[in-house]
Structure 1
Amino acid sequence: MIDLHTESSPNGFKATIALEELALPYRLHHVNIDKGEHRRPEFLSLNPHGRIPAIVDRETGIILFESAAILLYLAEKTGRLLPKEQRARWEAIKWLQFHASSMGPILGQRVHFEIFADEKIPAAIDRYRRLTDDAFAVLDGQLAGNRWLAGEDYSIADIATFGWTHIAAICGFTFTQHRNLTRWHEQVSARPAVARGILLPAPATGP
């Protein structure tokens, strides 16, 4: 049994989608960030940085935070959502890392400066709009000749990236001009496990 501590957010949806895709038994613990539950000692014992998601695998005793690490762990645990052939496997890991180091941080900053910041700073908003579109263009190029980010196999790279394109769409950060990315996003959205995962622990309602 896996205990998942999470909130409705791009990073949280990656874990819920993966667990739903893998049909692993898990217990869902809602960490309500608006109430400051991510700063309580019981959650900080799982992630001292106070960020969701975090998992505890009761079978192995392993505790993990950081969504990319959790996705890799679940894929390794089950032998699914990560290609076994070496070239395809590293292609998936490469795009998982692109999401973690580039796409996620860029979109996170755009959400902050454009939607939540008390002071609207035009230079910051323009910068992250431009960087967002650059990231979307990179993904669009990769998907021009591939069904999924790593090629023919749906993988944790797709799950991780979709967590952010889902929120981008909710926030009105359009990417419809990128036809391949739009096709891929709709393709991921249509998966039943994805449709379930984005409702847990509660649907995201946008800014």
Structure 2
Amino acid sequence: MYTLFYAPTPNGKKITLMLEALDVPYQVIPINIRKGDQFLPSFLAISPNNRIPALIDHDTGIGIFESGTILTYLAEKHGKFLPANGSARYVVLQWLHWQIGGLGPMAGQNHHFNHYAAEIVPYGIKRYTEETARLYGVLNKQLADKTYIAGEEYTIADMAIYPWITLYEHQKQDISQFPHIARYLQMMAARDDVQRGMQKYADFDWETSLTESQLQGLIEQNLQR
């Protein structure tokens, strides 16, 4: 059993994709990042960088933050979606870290300057829209002769990258310029486990926030299951 601290962002969806693919029991605690739930002491005790997702493994009592670490931990614990050794392992890990260090931060800045900045900043819009396009080009080339991102098997690299590129319109990207990504998006969307992972908590309540006592209670309740 796992407890997942979650909001329906690309980083949160990485972990629901993994948990649904593993078909293991888990409970979700909603963390409303628009209302400041991520700054509650009980959450910070698990995720000191005040970011979702975070995970508690009921079997070990281990709490983990940072999406890439959570994916790697789950893959290694269950022996799935990450080769145990050899060059194939590092192909997966390099694309996982490509997302963490490149696509995620650049697309995130793209979202900010295109949609959320308090003022229009043409330089920021141009820089991050173009950098997102460059990264899409890198990924499109990688997918030209592969079924999945790291080869012919579904891995944690796909779980990390897919939720971000589903937002291509939000990122001002013309998907017709990236035909291999377009093919990949259709294939991924057809997977039952991907559908479940992407739709988890689709009715997330962005209007309600938690108090510290409520969050403590949810954690204690989940750990008793």
Calculate the TM-score normalised by the size of structure 1: 0.94
Residues 111 and 170 (structure 1), Cα distance of their counterparts in 2 relative to 1, 3 Å cut: closer
2:218 match: none
Deviation at residue 60 of structure 1 after TM alignment? 1.2
Q: Deviations over 1:112-167 (max 9, x none)?
A: 01001111100110001110000000000011111111111110001100020123
- The code of the aligned residue for 1:152 comes to E
* 1:141 is aligned to 2:141: yes
User: Which position in structure 1 is the counterpart of 2:217?
Assistant: none
C-alpha distance in 2 between matches for 1:15 and 1:41: 22
Q: Is it true that 1:108 corresponds to 2:108 in the alignment?
A: yes
Distance 2:162 2:35 in 1: 27
Mapping of residues 65-144 of structure 1, within 5 Å: 65-84=65-84, 86-144=86-144
Contact preservation (8 Å) 1:106, 1:131: yes
Return the alpha-carbon distance in structure 2 between the equivalents of residues 68 and 55 of structure 1: 12
Q: For structure 1, list consecutive stretches of 5 or more residues without a partner in the other structure.
A: none
- State the distance in 2 between where 1:170 and 1:115 align: 8
Q: Summarize the alignment of residues 56-67 of structure 1 with structure 2, pairs less than 5 Å apart.
A: 56-67=56-67
Q: What's 2:167 paired with? A: 167
C-alpha distance in structure 1 between counterparts of 2:92 and 2:50, whole Å: 28
Instruction: Please report how far the alpha carbon of residue 169 of structure 1 lies from its aligned counterpart in structure 2 after TM superposition.
Output: 4.1
The alignment covers a number of residue pairs equal to: 204
Q: Deviations over 1:29-69 (max 9, x none)?
A: 11112221111111111111110000000101211111111
| Structure having the higher Rg | 2
SS in 1 for 2:63: strand
In structure 2, what is the equivalent of residue 48 of structure 1?
48
- Secondary structure of 1:49's counterpart equals coil
Whole-Å separation in 2 of the counterparts to 1:39 and 1:191:
35
Residue equivalent to 2:15? 15
Structure 2: which 5+ residue stretches go unaligned? 205-225
CA distance in 2, matches of 1:57, 1:26: 9
SS at match of 2:168: helix
The SS at the match of 1:34 is: coil
Offset of residue 181 of structure 1: 1.0
The letter for the 2-side match of 1:61 is G
Matched, 1:186 2:179: no
Partner of residue 199, structure 1: 199
Shift of 1:200: 2.0
Give, in angstroms, the shift of residue 172 of structure 1. Answer: 5.2
Give the whole-Å Cα distance in 2 for the aligned partners of 1:136 and 1:66: 23
2: distance between equivalents of 1:83 and 1:175? 30
Is contact 1:136-1:175 (8 Å) kept? no
Structure 1 residue 186 displacement after superposition? 1.4
Using the TM superposition, give the Cα deviation of residue 202 of structure 1 relative to its aligned residue in structure 2, in angstroms: 2.3
Whole-Å Cα distance in 2 between the matches of residues 98 and 157 of structure 1? 9
TM-score with structure 2 setting the length: 0.86
